[in-house]
Amino acid sequence: MTLKQIIEDAEQRGIALGHFNISEFVALKAILEGASQLNVPIIIGVSEGEREFIGIKETVALVRAFREEYSVPIFLNADHTHSLEAVEEVAKAGFDAVLFDASKEPLEKNIKLTKEAVLRAKILNPNILVEGEIGYIGASSKILQELPKDISLEEKDLPTAEEVAEFVQKTKVDLLAPAVGNIHGILANIPNPRLNIKKVREMKQAAKIPLVLHGGSGIADDDFRVAIKAGISTIHINTEIRVAWRKGVEMGLKRNRDEVAPYKILSSALEGIKEIVLNRLRIFNGL
């Protein structure tokens, strides 16, 4: 099945696909082990910085190699891509999907750029799925000391149904990531904001295409369940993976101060990430 078919299938079954970001091999292996254990499809995401670190061709090759090893469907998304040139680069490289993110721009400019991104990506690969983003939810997958500036969080600042409909009609995106009370990153001292489920429902009706929920780290379990029922069919998690990676590496280093074998030190990171992935995938897939 193609990614498009798998997302449509998830929509019909009232479940969501898990999208997890990676910067290196340990997280990739942990995520795929988790997906394989539960026998569910999975999307691997690499933002511009993440894929620059691994290498674009190397990321594609790694995912291809794992597809031969695992029986679950594995897809690759070029997450948060900010330039049209970068869209073309990943479309040529063989990514299954790309998120063109001009969400910080005013709506008209966001529409103009995203429309161009869709055209350029589809010329190079008619099967690639292009996602657009509307409403700004911050840019960093990290522990936040305070809410990011200029984000759309209050209901009055979230995109309206009319704006969503206009965005989808004019850009022709396949998937839409709207701001619905979600933020990128985890707040250090207080829980992350709750999702605005009424807006999810409203935007799903207006968009009439699959909705993607970004900023999944720190979202309450029940909010995920209700948001999926309201129309979310893919959910992105990154900060929780990064936190588990760091904790695992620190634990591995502390366990034996003389240890120098990376695969022994990194085993705690792999286990920690896998635990997060299993937990999230169970919720997303209603298991």
- Known catalytic residues? 79
Instruction: Please select the residue that binds Zn ion; options are 51, 82, 214, 242, rule is CB under 5 A.
Output: 214
Beta bridge partners of 212: 234
Q: How crowded is the C-beta side of 95, counted as CA atoms within 13 Å? A: 31
- Please say whether the beta carbons of 236 and 45 come within 8 A: yes
Could you tell which of ligand G3H, Zn ion, none binds residue 135, using a CB distance below 5 to 8 A set by kind? none
| Three-state secondary-structure class, residue 79 | strand
Taking the least distance from each CB to Zn ion, the nearer of 118 and 137 is 137
- The torsion defined by the Cα of 193, 197, 199 and 205, in degrees rounded to 10, comes to 150
| CA–CA distances in Å: residue 92 to residues 17, 88, 89, 97, 173 | 24, 6, 5, 11, 18
We find the least distance from the C-beta atom of residue 64 to Zn ion, in angstroms, to be: 24
Taking the least distance from each CB to ligand G3H, the nearer of 103 and 265 is 103
x-or-dash pattern for Zn ion, window 155-194, by CB under 5 A?
----------------------------------------
Instruction: Please select the residue that binds ligand G3H; options are 215, 248, 252, 272, rule is CB under 6 A.
Output: 215
- Residues of span 21-80 touching ligand G3H by CB under 6 A: 21, 45, 79-80
Taking the least distance from each CB to ligand G3H, the nearer of 256 and 279 is 279
Taking the least distance from each CB to ligand G3H, the nearer of 171 and 182 is 182
Residue 159: name the closest of 119, 120, 106 by CA.
106
Taking the least distance from each CB to ligand G3H, the nearer of 18 and 216 is 216
- CB-based contacts of 237: which residues, under 8 Å, 6+ apart? 18, 19, 20, 21, 216, 217, 276, 277, 280
Q: Is 242 in the site for Zn ion (CB under 5 A)?
A: no
Any idea what DSSP says for residue 98? Answer: E
Q: Is 101 in the site for ligand G3H (CB under 6 A)?
A: no
Q: Which residues of 230-240 are buried (b: 16+ CB within 10 A; e: fewer)?
A: bbbbbbbbbbb
Q: Is 103 in the site for ligand G3H (CB under 6 A)?
A: no
Element (H or E) spanning 69, and its range?
helix 56-69
x-or-dash pattern for ligand G3H, window 127-146, by CB under 6 A?
--------------x-----
Residues 175 and 86: their CA atoms lie apart, in Å, by 18
Could you tell which of ligand G3H, Zn ion, none binds residue 231, using a CB distance below 5 to 8 A set by kind? none
We find the least distance from the C-beta atom of residue 11 to ligand G3H, in angstroms, to be: 19
Q: Is 217 in the site for ligand G3H (CB under 6 A)?
A: yes
> Footprint of ligand G3H on this chain (CB under 6 A)?
21, 45, 79-80, 141, 184-185, 214-217, 236-239
> Footprint of Zn ion on this chain (CB under 5 A)?
214, 236
